[in-house]
Structure 1
């Protein structure tokens, strides 16, 4: 029995993280990124303190809709302000805050299962 999912070649896979960046589907990134199954975008924030509803606009606009957005907070998970979490949920997006490493691993797993997942990642 094959335990590894067959991931289509056009999907964005997080190959590595650390040393201030990411390698996603073979491309090196050195800034915060938004990773969707079909594309990776530079995420124009300086750090997790800049997380806001407007900063997540690309995730709200994604088609098909994202069902879960993993927030990679950096080296440590932080709690997202309840008011901000409520605003994001009102726009139809469920978020889960994790440390960046856990967010990368969880994204790959869920994306490999075909889930409509995305990751907003701060480098470590």
Structure 2
């Protein structure tokens, strides 16, 4: 008996590696904001150090239950003050490294949840 569809109706992270992320088989080398509602946009940041309050205020505009933040190649946490717009709108927020964030997004999106992935894609180290 089969309970899960072979293909979900939402955008899926189909691969990732140093300096890239694939959404529905389309490879991207920039940071991305991916929504389970089908939205996909470039996130204007290349390194964790580039992030600021405006990046998280932008995320607060989404109509979602949860935001999964992929902090790049390693786990790093944004300043709590930057999360104020998310807290005000009662949007759940989780931080993890980008590979873990991609896997978590796929699970939640596959369950039909209103979720947003904000993935920092850092350039590959030479």
| Unaligned segments of structure 1, at least 5 residues | none
CA distance, structure 2, for counterparts of residue 104 and residue 59 of structure 1: 17
CA distance, structure 1, for counterparts of residue 43 and residue 66 of structure 2: 17
Q: Would you say how many aligned residue pairs link Structure 1 and Structure 2?
A: 121
Give the TM-score taking structure 2 as reference length: 0.82
| Unaligned segments of structure 2, at least 5 residues | none
The alpha carbon displacement at 1:77 in A equals 1.1
User: Per the alignment, in what secondary structure is the counterpart of residue 34 of structure 2?
Assistant: strand
CA distance, structure 1, for counterparts of residue 55 and residue 104 of structure 2: 22
CA distance, structure 2, for counterparts of residue 3 and residue 14 of structure 1: 21
Partner of 1:69: 67
In the superposition, relative to structure 1, how do residues 54 and 94 fare at CA in structure 2: closer, same or farther (>3 Å)? same
Q: Superposed, which structure 2 residues align to 1:99-118 within 5 Å?
A: 99-118=97-116
Give the TM-score taking structure 1 as reference length: 0.83
Partner of 1:25: 24
Moved over 6 A (4+): none
| Equivalent residue for 1:80, pick from 72, 78, 81 | 78
Q: Superposed, which structure 2 residues align to 1:37-48 within 5 Å?
A: 37=36, 38-48=38-48
CA distance, structure 2, for counterparts of residue 67 and residue 96 of structure 1: 11
User: Per the alignment, in what secondary structure is the counterpart of residue 86 of structure 1?
Assistant: helix
